[in-house]
Amino acid sequence: MIKRTLVDEKPFEFSARVTLQLGRESISSSTVALSELIKNSYDADADHVTLDFHLRENSVSTLIIDDNGSGMDPETLLGHWLKIGTDNKSIVERSAGKCRVLTGAKGLGRLGIDRLCKKLVLYSKTKEMTKAIQLNIDWKRFEKTNKSLSEIKHPIYEVDLPITDKYGSVFSNPESSGTRMVLIGLKDEWDQNFLDILENELRLLTSPFQAENEFSIRLKIRKGESQVDKSLNSEKFLNAARWKVKATVDSNGNVEACYTNNQQKLDILQEPIAWSSWLKNSGSAPLFGPVKFEFYYLAQDTENLSKLNLKVRNFREFMRLNQGVRLYRDHFRVRPYGEPSGKGDWLDIGLRKVSSPGGLSQLGWKIGPNQIVGSVLISRETNAILNDQANREGIVENSAFFQLRTFLLKVIETFETLVQKDASSDGKLDLSTELARILSKSNEDVENAIEDLKKTVSSISRKKKKQEKITIPISTRGSTTKPS
């Protein structure tokens, strides 16, 4: 028998540099870092958030991020904001005031500030507080040090109201609440090209399909004598759509859809259909939770654009930036799905169009990626099976994810068949009767969609390592494919 003596017990220690690894080194870009901060404002029940750039060529540039959310008291600042990786947003799934589903589940967004600037000055206040709290962080202190994380301490102050500095005044109303972050010494060179990229990203951050615009983003840019001040919105272009499609899967697994011909001002309704009847051999209920799918068919129509006072150039730019089908969790984008660059074509709309490049009058017409602007809305609360990847830039590709793709593809194929029938009949066809006929067919349309999906999954399979195998049911005949 081996004799042993307990000499000590020690916890894990974290080097101060771990903040760099969790912040600047794990977040892919500065726009992603800003997106995470904006999500924090949303989670804090803010009605609006403002990004105010003060750019200087030969001196320190600054970014001020203001929101009117619930703010933080000292307990929240110390117990949550300064504590890395808390499970607060996993335990508390909705915000206290507006009952919003919380979007920032990882709790690491604030560390991304290190990617953006050299120093941070944070002010925050709840409605009940008579003074604000101030936190100062110098990110340089985490570099090239042998200190542990707990040895790096940051000064916290109590500040009289209102707070007024060269960037303006905040908390002038004693009952106001919110958070102001002053990012000093911006690390990126925010030239016009970078600012344009940021603006485009911010326009795409929140869904243009929200029923209520309860959360707005404002962008201000001050550079020399030049000033820009704009609220970011892109919804007006959707009015140019020829067709609009809405499809839902409810909590009971029923599928309902509405196909709207905007030119004829005609709604073609698909009454609720049980999941087992709508998608054969896929079980009695979907693997995923409730989903709302909405997309617009926008073919360039000069006459229609003129009526809406839209320029062709602006319309093309809108489509370039917004084309495709994006995925939103609780009204915030989940990357990379639907990114304008094309790498986010997760439904293979581009590949489908290449395989059938003919126009609307030709058999087998497919909608092109530059003709569709779509949104898939899910909720973290009711779609827990559709989990984020660890880097917050995609969803784990499990069976529920691939079944969701199959659902979306069937809706798109039903639309394509309906629109082509309408075009070939010169508007004389009873579209409601035609829709019923399409849906009564023996799943022929969805079989085509699934065949496309099989080809894509097979292509992915050849590129993945064998040890990464997962089972994905993608056949209405009950077969499975294992990407490897």
What's the CATH code of the domain at 156? 3.30.565.10
How high is the pLDDT of residue 313?
Answer: 78
Q: Count CA atoms closer than 13 A to 433's CA, side-chain side.
A: 3
How high is the pLDDT of residue 471?
Answer: 37
How high is the pLDDT of residue 289?
Answer: 95
Examine the domain organization and report whether 436 and 294 are in the same domain: yes
**106 domain-assigned:** yes
> What is d(CA 120, CA 117) in angstroms, rounded to the nearest whole number?
7
**13 domain-assigned:** no
| DSSP three-state, residue 280 | coil
Average pLDDT over residues 401-413: 96
In this structure, which long-range contacts are made by residues 341-349, counting pairs with CB atoms below 8 Å and at least 24 apart in sequence?
342/369, 345/369, 346/405, 347/405, 347/408, 347/409, 347/412, 348/452, 348/453, 348/456, 349/324, 349/325, 349/412
Domain boundary among 202, 233, 264: 233
Give every CB contact of residue 51 below 8 A, 6+ residues apart in sequence: 34, 63, 64, 65, 202, 217, 218, 219, 220
How high is the pLDDT of residue 479?
Answer: 35
> Where residue 460 falls among pLDDT bands split at 50, 70, 90?
very low
Examine the domain organization and report whether 209 and 241 are in the same domain: no
Q: How far is CA 18 from CA 24, 140, 166, 361, in A?
A: 10, 13, 34, 59
| pLDDT at 32 > cutoff 70 | yes
Average pLDDT over residues 344-360: 92
Render pLDDT for 290-313 as a digit per residue (tens, 0 to 9). Answer: 999 999 999 888 887 887 777 787
How high is the pLDDT of residue 477?
Answer: 33
Examine the domain organization and report whether 306 and 209 are in the same domain: no
Share of the chain above pLDDT 90, in %: 49
**395 domain-assigned:** yes
**387 domain-assigned:** yes
Which residues in 34-79 belong to E strands, given as ranges? 48-55, 62-67
How high is the pLDDT of residue 408?
Answer: 97
Q: Which of 71-80, 237-246, 251-260, 299-308 has the lowest mean pLDDT?
A: 299-308
Examine the domain organization and report whether 371 and 476 are in the same domain: yes
Examine the domain organization and report whether 23 and 142 are in the same domain: yes
Render pLDDT for 170-199 as a digit per residue (tens, 0 to 9). Answer: 999 999 999 999 999 999 999 999 998 888
**3 domain-assigned:** no
Nearest to 31 by CA among 5, 63, 1, 54: 63
Examine the domain organization and report whether 200 and 240 are in the same domain: no
| Report field, pTM of the whole predicted structure over 0.75 | no
| pLDDT at 450 > cutoff 60 | no
| pLDDT at 470 > cutoff 50 | no
Examine the domain organization and report whether 297 and 154 are in the same domain: no
Domain boundary among 188, 204, 233: 233
Examine the domain organization and report whether 240 and 229 are in the same domain: no
Share of the chain above pLDDT 70, in %: 84
Nearest to 73 by CA among 154, 128, 136: 128
How high is the pLDDT of residue 106?
Answer: 56
Tally of domains within the chain: 2
> Where residue 248 falls among pLDDT bands split at 50, 70, 90?
very high
How high is the pLDDT of residue 376?
Answer: 95
Angle separating helix axes 192-205 and 312-322, nearest 10 degrees: 70
> What is d(CA 211, CA 221) in angstroms, rounded to the nearest whole number?
29
The two tokens of residue 21 are 């690894």
Domain with 30 in it: 18-233
**177 domain-assigned:** yes
Examine the domain organization and report whether 316 and 218 are in the same domain: no
Cis amide bond preceding 162, omega within 30: yes
